[in-house]
Amino acid sequence: MIELLQRKSLVPLAVLLLANILLLSVQVRNEEGRLLLRSWSLVLFTPIASSLHFLVDGVTHGLNRYVLLYGAQEENLQLRAENAHLGVELAQLRGIQSLLSIREDGPMFQDQFLFDTVLAQVIWKSPPFYAHRLVINAGTRQGIQKNDAVITPQGIVGRVWATTPFTAEVELITNDGAAAGAMLEDSRLQGVVQGDGSVILHWNFIPNYESVEVGDIVYTSGTDRMYPKGFPIGQVVASQKKGTVYRDIQVEPFVDYLRLEEIMVVVSKGGGIE
């Protein structure tokens, strides 16, 4: 009888001990300043997300290879067209490189556009799918670190928010508070593009007397020392005077965050944006 009572008393003691550990983990932060409980949850969630992605990806590739072969010819023609298009762009880039080589500040100027990337697949998106984080299947083992820029050929995606050895969590540029230095294509007018939790970005700190028109293209300025300079962000969809100081400017991103499947992480950059 006494042994039974002792066993019963151990159960609430264990529950209280576990609750105490959880409460402490909510308050404790790691070296990066992130809550320890959130870091643990990312580590525990990684195997689940990776397994689900591997299963879905395997089934999808199996269908594409053995069931949907009738579309192979059309895809081949599309790839050939894209290859030809890339060949033209490569010739243009070589021309730009030759022009930079004759400038006195050519090497320094060219460094702003040099960076290496790691290609990774999106294995999880936060619900709803456009708000505002995702997990990729590459981490510190691939050289990815916190605050590395995340991009696609269409434009910027966001930044690395947290890492594990084989995965990383990405904060989208549309997240509330996320920001990037931005400039206009022609006038080089500079400000800060910021997310507010919606699918539209706001371009802040542009004076009312400056001319910004609907349809203008906004690029990264490199002033945040995170995103490569001159990379596309989006297109101005609204621009009007607001108050007495700054304009109210809205920018629609080029990247379709709902359909992201692959991204590139900038893992090393030139001297302009270390």
pLDDT band at 37 (very low <50, low <70, confident <90, very high): low
Smallest CA-to-CA distance from 233 within 177, 170, 176, 190 is with: 190
pLDDT at 155: 86
- For residue 236, the Cα-to-chain-centroid distance in whole angstroms is 20
pLDDT band at 167 (very low <50, low <70, confident <90, very high): very high
106 CB-side CA count, 13 A = 9
User: For residue 132, which of 162, 99, 172 has the smallest C-alpha distance?
Assistant: 172
Q: Dihedral angle at the C-alpha atoms of 192, 186, 148, 27, nearest 10 degrees? A: 10
Q: What are phi and psi of 46, to 5 degrees?
A: -55, -50
Options 2.40.10.350, 1.10.3720.10, 3.90.1640.10, 1.20.120.420; which CATH number does 179-253 get? 2.40.10.350
pLDDT in tens, 75-122: 776 776 666 556 545 544 554 454 455 445 444 444 555 567 888 889
Angstrom distance (rounded) from CA 181 to CA 112: 14
CA–CA distance, 39 with 232 (Å, rounded to integer): 32
- Token pair 């030759």 is found at 98
Query: Which residue from 81, 113, 86 is spatially nearest to 272, judged by alpha carbons?
Result: 113
Per-residue pLDDT, 104: 52
Residues 238, 167: Cα–Cα separation, whole Å: 37
Q: What angle do CA 29, 31, 36 make, to 5 degrees?
A: 30
pLDDT tier at 239, thresholds 50, 70, 90: very high
- Domain extents in the chain: 179-253
Supply the DSSP string of 152-201, one letter for each residue: ETTEEEEEEEEE-SS-EEEEETTSTT-EEEEEETTT--EEEEE--SSSSE
Q: What is the mean pLDDT of the chain?
A: 75
The set of residues, in sequence order, having a beta carbon less than 8 Å from that of 151 and lying 6+ positions away, is 117, 157, 227, 228, 231, 263, 264, 265, 266
